[in-house]
Chains A and B, each alone.
Chain A
């Protein structure tokens, strides 16, 4: 996604651009696939950063301007409403920030002034600056919010939708996510992510951009300071003045041949996910499942870390792609019920094939049951009887689509905001540059193309 956005920017100003994609589908983590006539999104639950038409100065508006894409072309439909569900307490939020503020005021009356002060701190923070050092978001948030339950509840969606670090995140990233989820909001095109990718690809092609699919980069060759040429999976060698890499920082480093074979462990992401999908012969609403997204946690504290077991079912994300305001007469043909939990890449990747299938079956049921604790429950029998199709992605799937070492869903915990690498003409964009979410990914590609290539003559 970031590479495609960068490609559009560069092609727009007459650069000769080639996008190389190892996979057979565009989009990376935000890709899509079809199976048995059904269409699935890989990663996308929601397009974050949604604001209504006419709201100015937000990342979504910047994106449309920079890519010169009409807003209507993405077909974004706003969510119904979502919530953070912890034991005995819910915080609802919608695309109207007032709703969350009222929830905080009602459920944490002693914290509402602190919450407002935190919001002011976030407002004064320039989250999209490209230089600057990391600050602990936990430290900043706890300096305002003194009730750890509220702090955990606020962190839960932000971490699930973008944190590559365990337990804490950089305050800059926290601010980006806070704005994109709480102050702006969720939306989705009726067709899912493929609509967005289709629009972007059409724009890129119209500008003369070129692509090579199923063709990754095997090596970056050059001097110690500069990349000169790329060796592709096909064996072909191409030259380039600039290389923008969306494959991750460690992954990029490892293409430069003078580096040791073992990656730097501190830079490797530890967090990976599993996700179950049930296709239902009901619309979720008919079972009283009216939320768009539910971020749940059943534990005293919210633990965002790589689990010891294959899956940590204590917390997760439930998503109903049906529950968006698609407009009169428009709806997904079948019900879709997705549950995401944290998972251990190591465990999943070393399972023999048969155990892998068994583990998928076991965890699929367990995750559905856990999710049911946070919504109108139905029995496993009813769920099974209503399920037309089920699928599950694991850390292996994430590795396949993103190429991230360790199936790291959000890449390395060490982000490189200015995108620089050891080579002066190789820059990072996407996940490891550090703008998060699907809109963030696209803005990352745009910013890096602007900053490193277009700005210079």
Chain B
């Protein structure tokens, strides 16, 4: 899985939980919350979807890793590797 794959996958989840957000120009290095109208309930849903769709568990203390697309990718890529291994 590449960085871009991880970005796309997180964006797909956001598109599903927040269909009213425009995701056309999300900058990977900037916090999602600074670009989009997302609150803690939405982040919980990102976590829930990662579990439902990919079997990835994100414990609550790790939620800050999902702050931006870039930090999400860094955090999620090793997790995807261990899930698919």
From 57 to 96 in chain A, residues with beta carbon under 8 angstroms from any chain B beta carbon are: 57, 61-62, 65-66, 68
CA distance A14 to B57 in the complex (A): 15
CA distance A66 to B45 in the complex (A): 8
Q: Which residues of A contact B41 (CB under 8 A)?
A: 62, 65-66, 446-447, 450
Measured CB to CB, the nearest residue on chain B to A56 is B37
CA distance A57 to B52 in the complex (A): 26
The reply on A234 being an interface residue by CB < 8 A is no
CA distance A283 to B77 in the complex (A): 63
The reply on B9 being an interface residue by CB < 8 A is no
Take A57-B37, A68-B17 as given contacts and tell me if A454 and B44 are in contact as well, using a CB distance cutoff of 8 Å: yes
Per-residue A-contact encoding for B17-47, CB less than 8 Å = 1, 0 else? 1101000000000000000010101101100
A-B contacts, CB under 8 A, total: 34
CA distance A62 to B44 in the complex (A): 13
Q: How large, as a class, is the contact surface on chain A?
A: 10 to 19
The reply on A362 being an interface residue by CB < 8 A is no
Measured CB to CB, the nearest residue on chain A to B57 is A457
Option from A14, A56, A61, A457 in Cβ contact (under 8 Å) with B52: A14
CA distance A57 to B36 in the complex (A): 10
Q: Which residues of B contact A447 (CB under 8 A)?
A: 41
Decide: B48 and A13 in contact? CB cutoff 8 A.
yes
Per-residue A-contact encoding for B45-67, CB less than 8 Å = 1, 0 else? 10010011000010110000000
Scoring B41, B51, B60 by chain A CB atoms within 10 A of each residue's CB, the highest score goes to B41
Decide: B44 and A450 in contact? CB cutoff 8 A.
yes
Q: Which residues of A contact B51 (CB under 8 A)?
A: 13, 457
The reply on A455 being an interface residue by CB < 8 A is yes
Q: Which residues of B contact A455 (CB under 8 A)?
A: 44, 60
CA distance A217 to B29 in the complex (A): 51
Least Cβ distance of A27 to chain B in Å? 23
Decide: B17 and A65 in contact? CB cutoff 8 A.
yes
Decide: A62 and B39 in contact? CB cutoff 8 A.
yes
Measured CB to CB, the nearest residue on chain B to A450 is B44
CA distance A450 to B45 in the complex (A): 9
Least Cβ distance of A50 to chain B in Å? 16
Least Cβ distance of B48 to chain A in Å? 5
Q: Which residues of A contact B16 (CB under 8 A)?
A: 68
Interface residues of B (CB under 8 A from A): 16-18, 20, 37, 39, 41-42, 44-45, 48, 51-52, 57, 59-60
List the 9 closest A-B pairs by CB distance, nearest first: A56-B37, A13-B48, A57-B37, A450-B44, A65-B18, A66-B41, A13-B52, A62-B41, A65-B17
Name 12 A/B residue pairs within 8 A (Cβ), A-sorted: A54-B20, A61-B37, A62-B39, A62-B41, A65-B18, A66-B45, A68-B17, A446-B41, A450-B41, A450-B44, A454-B48, A457-B57
